[in-house]
Amino acid sequence: MSADDWLADTRHTYDADAAGYADVVRDILGGRHPHLNAALGLFADQVLAEGGGAVADIGCGPGHVTAHLHGLGVDAFGIDLSPEMIAVARSDHPGPRFEVGSMTDLDVPAASVAGLIAWWSLIHIPDGAMATVLGQFHRVLRPGGLLQVGFHVGDPSPAMDSDDPTVHGHRRRPERMADWLRDAGFTVESQWEFNMATDRPGAILFARRTGT
């Protein structure tokens, strides 16, 4: 499958259910998952302690994470492939800036953001495109900039949790994701795993851009 194919399929799927997806995730940061709030709080604290600056939420969906970071005092903006998701984000969260864009080719200047977060938005990226995406993350982050990625944990699977057979959702092992990050020029600083006894285990990796 070409990049154009899987990007188009992913865009179509999320465009078709933007409002429904927003309903599912709208309250996910309302206290039911304190570990998620803690991860975002730590990320925000680090960005602000290191001088602040813009933070890109890549694959922001309906904007709930972007808005949460914004509420913590971070200059967060969101980018998503789906125009319908961006429309929902702008309607639900009028404070932050939201833009349509692809993480395979970010329309963001080099070394211009202090932090970048990708929460469960890498799950639709094929293995063969991961180097391109993480290369884009490295390009737009300033030296020493912070990166946080969240994803489903498990053995590689060609399809997961989707009613649309054309859209693949990948489970990955944290050590594999960490290797990809190191190959892209990041230093992995911390790894959190949670819900490991359920059928929806997840992980969050904290990393930092190395190099100049």
pLDDT (tens digit per residue) in 65-77: 999 999 999 999 9
Q: What is the pLDDT of residue 34?
A: 85
Q: What is the pLDDT of residue 212?
A: 74
Give the torsion sign (CA, 170, 176, 182, 186).
positive
Backbone angles phi and psi of 26, in degrees to 5: -55, -40
Domain ranges (residues) in the chain: 3-209
Q: What is the pLDDT of residue 165?
A: 42
3-209, superfamily in CATH? Vaccinia Virus protein VP39 (3.40.50.150)
Q: What is the pLDDT of residue 2?
A: 59
Interval 116-144: pLDDT, tens: 999 999 999 999 999 999 999 999 999 99
Taking the chain, what is the end-to-end CA distance rounded to the nearest angstrom?
35
Residue that the structure tokens 């990809």 belong to? 180
Q: What is the pLDDT of residue 167?
A: 54
pTM score of the predicted model? 0.91
Q: What is the pLDDT of residue 162?
A: 44
Q: What is the pLDDT of residue 169?
A: 77
- The list of the chain residues with pLDDT below 50 reads 159-166
User: CB within 8 A of 157, min separation 6: which ones?
Assistant: 169, 170, 171
